[in-house]
Amino acid sequence: MELEPGFFKTVWRLALPIALQSVLQASFSVVDQIMIGQLGSVQVAGVGLAGKFSSIFTVLVSAIAAVAGIMLAQYLGQRQTGAAARAFTVNLAVSALWHCSSRRSACCFPNK
61, 98 Cβ separation under 8 angstroms: yes
**Interval 72-98 mean pLDDT:** 93
Q: Is residue 61 part of a domain?
A: yes
Q: Is the pLDDT of residue 78 over 90?
A: yes
pLDDT in tens, 21-65: 888 877 877 787 788 888 888 888 888 787 788 888 888 888 999
Q: Is residue 1 part of a domain?
A: no
Q: Is residue 2 part of a domain?
A: no
**Interval 101-110 mean pLDDT:** 81
Residue type, 18: I
Helices 81-108 and 41-77 cross at an angle (nearest 10°) of 170
pTM: 0.65
Whole-angstrom distance, CA of residue 61 vs CA of residue 87:
15
Find, among 5, 111, 98, the residue nearest to 49 by Cα. 111
Q: Is residue 55 part of a domain?
A: yes
**Domain span at residue 71?**
7-108
Q: Is residue 28 part of a domain?
A: yes
Q: Is residue 83 part of a domain?
A: yes
Residues 70-100: b if buried by 16+ CB within 10 A, e if exposed: ebbeebeeeeeeeebeebeeebeeebeeeee
The tally of domains found in the chain comes to 1
Q: How many CB atoms neighbour CB 9 within 10 A?
A: 10
